[in-house]
């Protein structure tokens, strides 16, 4: 059973965690595209870029939630 405390103010969310999630996601996407271009050809295919966008979005969300 979960315990909740009712008479407390909600925690304020820090803007740094939001910005950090975006920056990490952008950096991961750049690294993904660079690695994909080295493994296949330049420019990487649409499937490679789409899978990179999915993975880096997941990483950015993970960083955002973990930093709260």
Phi/psi of residue 41, nearest 5 degrees: -150, 170
Over residues 55-67, the pLDDT tens digits come to: 999 998 888 888 7
What's the whole-model pTM score? 0.72
Phi/psi of residue 58, nearest 5 degrees: -65, -40
Over residues 14-30, the pLDDT tens digits come to: 777 778 888 999 999 99
């Amino acid at each position: 059973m979960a315990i909740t405390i009712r008479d407390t103010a909600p925690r304020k969310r820090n803007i740094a965690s939001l910005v950090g999630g975006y920056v990490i996601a952008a950096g991961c996407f750049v690294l993904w595209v660079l690695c994909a271009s080295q493994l296949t050809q330049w420019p990487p295919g649409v499937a490679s870029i789409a899978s990179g966008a999915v993975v880096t979005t997941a990483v950015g969300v993970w960083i955002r939630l973990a930093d709260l």
